Structure 1
Amino acid sequence: MLVKSSDSVSASATKVLGQTTTILKVQEMTGNIFALPLSEIKASAVKLAKLYCQNLPLSKDLDPQESMFGEELLSLISNMLVQLFWRTRDFGYLAEAIMVLELGLTIRGHVWQYKILLLHIYSYIGALPRAFEWYKALDVKNILTETVSHHILRQMVESPMWVNLSDLLKDYLRFMDDHLRESADLTFLAYRHRNYSKVIEFVLFKERLQYSNQYQAARVEASVLQLKQNADSIEEEERVLENLKSGVQLVELSSEVGSKTLRFNEDMQTRPWWTPSPEENYLLGPFEEISYSPKENVKKDREENMKRAIQRKSLLPRMIYLSIQRSSTALKESVETNGSGGDLKICEELKFLLEEYTNLLGCSLSDAVDMITGISQGARTSESLGSDLVDWLNFAVFWNAWSLSSHEHWRVLNSLFERLILDRIRSMGSSDMSSCYSDVQVLVQIITEPLAWHSLIIQACTRSSLPSGKKKKKTQHSDQLPSSPMSQAIKDSIQSLCSTVQEVSNWLLSQMNNPEDDQVEKFMSTLKRNEDAGGPGQVLGVLESLIASSEESVVGNRIFEALKSWSTADTARKTFMAQQSLLHEFLQICESKRKLMETLKQQMSHV
Structure 2
Amino acid sequence: MISVFLFWRTKHVGYLLEAIMVLELGLKVRSYVWQYKILLLHLSSYWNALPLAYEWYKSLDVKNILVETVSHHIFPQMLTSPLLADTSDALKGYLRFMDDHFRESADLTFLAYRHRNYSKVIEFVQFKERLQQSSQYLTAKVEDSILQLKRKANSIEEAECALESLNHGSDFIDVSNEARSKKLTFNEDLKLRPWWTPSIDKNYLLEPYEDISYFPRENLDVAKQTEAKVISIGKRSLLPRMVYLSIQCASSSIKGNSNINGFDSKDSSELKSLLESYAKLLGLPFTDAAELVIAVSDRQKSFEVLSSNLIDWMNFAVFLNAWNLNSAESNSFRFNWQVLCSLLEECISERIDSTKPLLSTPGTDLSILVQLVTEPLSWLGLIIQSCVRSSLPSGKKKKKGGPDPSNSQLPNAVKDSMSSLVSMVDKVTKWLKEQIDKPVGEDVDFLLSCVQREENDDKPGKVVKVLENLVASVAVVEVGERINRAVRSWKPVDVAPKIVTAQRTALTEFLNICESKTKVLMALKL
Instruction: Give the TM-score, by structure 2 length.
Output: 0.93
Are residues 1:427 and 2:351 paired? no
Unaligned 5+ residue runs, structure 1? 1-78, 472-476, 603-607
Are residues 1:269 and 2:191 paired? yes
Taking the TM superposition and a 5 Å limit, the aligned residue runs for 1:116-515 are 116-288=38-210, 292-294=215-217, 296=219, 301-333=224-256, 344-404=265-325, 408-428=335-355, 431-433=357-359, 435=361, 438-469=364-395, 478=406, 481=409, 487-515=411-439
Separation of aligned partners in 2, 1:410 and 1:120? 41
Deviating 4+ runs (over 6 angstroms) = 336-340
Taking the TM superposition and a 5 Å limit, the aligned residue runs for 1:580-599 are 580-599=504-523
1:565-586 Cα offsets, whole Å, 9 max, x none, are 1112211111111111111100
1:4-38 Cα offsets, whole Å, 9 max, x none, are xxxxxxxxxxxxxxxxxxxxxxxxxxxxxxxxxxx
Equivalent residue letter for 2:442: D
Match of 2:488 in 1: 564
- Structure number with greater Rg is 1
Is the contact made by 1:126 and 1:434 (CA closer than 8 Å) also made in structure 2? no
Match of 1:518 in 2: 442
Instruction: Give the TM-score, by structure 1 length.
Output: 0.81
Separation of aligned partners in 2, 1:311 and 1:508? 33
Is the contact made by 2:142 and 2:233 (CA closer than 8 Å) also made in structure 1? yes
Separation of aligned partners in 2, 1:382 and 1:96? 37
1:181–1:533: structure 2 CA closer, same or farther, 3 Å change rule? same
1:158-190 Cα offsets, whole Å, 9 max, x none, are 111111111111111111111112222222232
Structure having the higher helix fraction is: 1
Separation of aligned partners in 2, 1:433 and 1:409? 39
Q: Which moved more, 1:460-469 or 1:524-533?
A: 524-533
1:470–1:316: structure 2 CA closer, same or farther, 3 Å change rule? closer
Q: Larger relative CO (CA 8 A, sep 6+): 1 or 2?
A: 2
1:81-121 Cα offsets, whole Å, 9 max, x none, are 11111121111111111111111112221110100000000
Q: Which moved more, 1:154-163 or 1:407-416?
A: 407-416
How many positions carry a matched residue from both structures? Answer: 512
Separation of aligned partners in 2, 1:179 and 1:480? 55
Match of 2:402 in 1: none
Separation of aligned partners in 2, 1:470 and 1:214? 46
Shift in Å at residue 416 of structure 1?
A: 1.7
Is the contact made by 1:424 and 1:439 (CA closer than 8 Å) also made in structure 2? no
Match of 1:55 in 2: none
1:428-456 Cα offsets, whole Å, 9 max, x none, are 36x23452664311111111011101110
Shift in Å at residue 401 of structure 1?
A: 0.5
Separation of aligned partners in 2, 1:198 and 1:432? 51
Match of 1:106 in 2: 28
Equivalent residue letter for 1:558: R
RMSD over aligned CA atoms reads: 2.2
Q: Secondary structure at the match of 1:279?
A: coil
Is the contact made by 1:520 and 1:569 (CA closer than 8 Å) also made in structure 2? no
Q: Which moved more, 1:593-602 or 1:266-275?
A: 593-602
Taking the TM superposition and a 5 Å limit, the aligned residue runs for 1:15-164 are 79-164=1-86
1:112–1:340: structure 2 CA closer, same or farther, 3 Å change rule? farther
Separation of aligned partners in 1, 2:29 and 2:300? 57
Is the contact made by 2:359 and 2:500 (CA closer than 8 Å) also made in structure 1? no
Is the contact made by 1:96 and 1:540 (CA closer than 8 Å) also made in structure 2? yes
Q: Secondary structure at the match of 1:439?
A: coil
